[in-house]
């Protein structure tokens, strides 16, 4: 019974009015359907102490000098604090005896110590600029047009079309998203030719804009990281970019495949590591997905869901480890925290590429996705908390957590005391960019993290305008914040993404200057319509 109670905690019910039955024995009678859905667990109420300790380990290992330097200052101050200025001067110049060897040894030790300190410090990673691809209007489809394209393909029966129509109605996606026209073809649309054409269009479009904005030559790029989960041709997409732009022969190029919607942050992490090992360099990170290879033409409902959400998109960003780029950079990378739950079989299979009974390939979405995603999120944000939360929030959170650990059985009847203090993550960040997976996921995250509606504005607006663009969605969201003119100097941005594996990743950026509204970009012609357009869609849903 306890197991059944735990299972029910992750379920939510909804009664849906299906209208009046038009035919059959129940014609003329109203019909209702009870939908049972899994939801995110209330992960802030069940915090695991080991992940808090992991976060503090990161904090201490990267900030040990914050502890040692004050101690040295205290010792030094105690030593000289009792001496007057005249006594200190006499000890240094009159009572002490110096020779050349002593002076040289002192300066040698000083130079060595300073050199080791600066060499051991990680190089700052700057985000100079980024670009998001805006497809042409001829690829724009409304929800009704999307269903019509699916009908024209001849791959779906009426039940499958009706299911996709219901998913779209409550998805949070608007009527201006983009899909490749090849999905309407009656034959096998997922060919290498179609995949290369789609990838070339979005990748080169984003990179052309990035190089124009930053005025960087492609030959100046020393590191290239590309991620695309389902389309991985030979030669790779990274090789395709090197060939197209005639990049230099010693470029460090990497092509990441099969890593899901969180691969954008993984790519940034890899590029940052490469920049740490290769000074005075630039890195380009490209994040995209080939929609024609996510399109499923069968009838399994768990594999039809990706059809409804994934849309065309691509982001390209330029990173630098040159300290002189501080003045022209937009952001500085502060933290990346990655969580991987692939060791658990349920987590590993919750988003799985496979064939159905008719051997049609597609992406299967498990009903456990919300629950599994919630546990991955819990781990990630618990690890991130000590790195970003103000000290006052950390103190209250840690004190209540320890209290629960020590007195968990002290309550009446052996029950645990009240839940832990829930940190206010809004105090740690000015802006939040959550992967725009679906309206249901964003709703649950807003509730579980105690966020306000405005905190999710960028995510909801991106979902409505562009759909789920996979690993590039968090960059469309940051582009939205810039288009609104909301990013000021010193503002902190939290990017949160999750995807197959199951993985949940966080990146924290700090704005190095006030970011001006861009004259171009994916939001240039529509940002004034938001957030009203997304809010209206949510009300209709």
**Catalytic site positions:** 261, 340, 431, 435, 464, 468
CB 360 within 8 A of CB 298: yes
Q: Provide the 8-state DSSP code for 516.
A: P
Helix (H) or strand (E) holding 541: none
CB 456 within 8 A of CB 434: yes
Shortest CA distance to 293 belongs to which of 310, 305, 308?
310
CB 506 within 8 A of CB 58: no
Tokens of 400: 């209540």
Please give the Cα distance from 359 to 52 (Å, whole number): 45
From residue 512, alpha-carbon distances to 122, 159, 256, 330 in Å are 18, 52, 29, 6
**481-505 CB burial, b ≥16 within 10 A, e <16:** bbbbeebeeebbbbbbbbbbbbbbb
DSSP string covering 177-202 = EE--GGGG-SS----HHHHHHHHHHH
Residue 242 CA from chain centroid, whole number: 26
Strand partners, 492: 510
**Residue 245 neighbours by CB distance under 10 Å:** 18
């Amino acid at each position: 019974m306890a197991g059944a109670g735990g299972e029910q905690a992750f379920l939510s019910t909804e009664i849906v009015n299906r209208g009046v039955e038009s035919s059959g024995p129940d014609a003329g009678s109203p019909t209702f359907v009870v939908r049972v859905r899994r939801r995110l667990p209330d992960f802030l109420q069940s915090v695991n102490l080991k992940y808090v300790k992991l976060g503090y380990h990161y904090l201490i290992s990267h900030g040990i000098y914050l502890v040692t330097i004050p101690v040295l200052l205290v010792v030094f101050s105690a030593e000289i604090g009792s001496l007057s200025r005249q006594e200190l001067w006499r000890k240094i110049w009159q009572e002490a005896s110096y020779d050349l060897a002593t002076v040289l040894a002192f300066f040698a030790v000083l130079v060595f110590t300073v050199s080791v300190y600066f060499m051991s410090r990680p190089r700052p990673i700057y985000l100079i600029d980024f670009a998001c691809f805006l497809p042409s209007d001829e690829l724009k489809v409304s929800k009704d047009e999307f269903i019509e394209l699916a009908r024209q393909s001849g791959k779906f029966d009426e039940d499958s079309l009706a299911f996709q129509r219901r998913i779209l109605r409550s998805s949070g996606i608007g009527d201006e998203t983009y899909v490749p026209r090849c999905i309407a073809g009656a034959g096998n649309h997922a060919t290498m030719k179609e995949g290369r054409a789609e990838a070339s269009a979005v990748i080169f479009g984003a990179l052309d804009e990035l190089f124009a904005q930053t005025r960087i030559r492609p030959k100046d790029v020393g590191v290239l990281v590309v991620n695309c989960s389902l389309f991985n041709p030979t030669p790779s997409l990274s090789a395709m970019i090197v060939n197209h732009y005639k990049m230099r022969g010693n470029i460090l190029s990497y092509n990441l495949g099969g890593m899901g919607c969180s691969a954008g942050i993984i790519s940034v992490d890899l590029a940052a590591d490469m920049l740490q090992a290769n000074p005075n360099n630039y890195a380009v990170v490209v994040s995209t997905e080939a929609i024609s290879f996510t399109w499923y033409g069968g009838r399994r409902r768990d594999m039809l869901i990706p059809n409804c959400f994934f849309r065309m998109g691509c982001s390209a960003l330029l990173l630098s480890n040159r300290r002189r780029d501080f003045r022209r950079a937009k952001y500085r990378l502060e933290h990346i925290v990655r969580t991987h739950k692939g060791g658990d079989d349920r987590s590993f299979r919750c988003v799985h590429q496979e064939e159905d009974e008719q051997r049609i390939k597609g992406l299967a979405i498990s009903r456990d996705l919300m629950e599994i995603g919630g546990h991955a999120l819990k781990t990630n944000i618990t690890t991130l908390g000590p790195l970003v939360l103000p000290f006052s929030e950390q103190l209250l959170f840690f004190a209540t957590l320890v209290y629960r650990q020590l007195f968990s059985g002290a309550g009446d009847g052996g029950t645990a005391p009240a839940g832990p203090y829930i940190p206010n993550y809004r105090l740690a960040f000015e802006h939040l960019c959550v992967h725009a997976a679906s309206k249901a996921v964003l709703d649950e995250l807003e509730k579980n993290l105690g966020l306000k509606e405005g905190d999710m504005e960028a995510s909801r607006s991106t979902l409505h305008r562009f759909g789920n663009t996979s690993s590039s969605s968090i960059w469309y969201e940051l582009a939205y914040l810039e288009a609104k003119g909301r990013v000021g100097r010193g503002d902190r941005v939290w990017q949160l993404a999750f995807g197959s594996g199951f993985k949940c990743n966080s990146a924290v950026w700090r704005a190095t200057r006030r970011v001006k509204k861009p004259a171009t970009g994916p939001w240039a012609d529509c940002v004034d319509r938001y957030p009203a357009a997304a809010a209206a869609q949510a009300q209709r849903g």
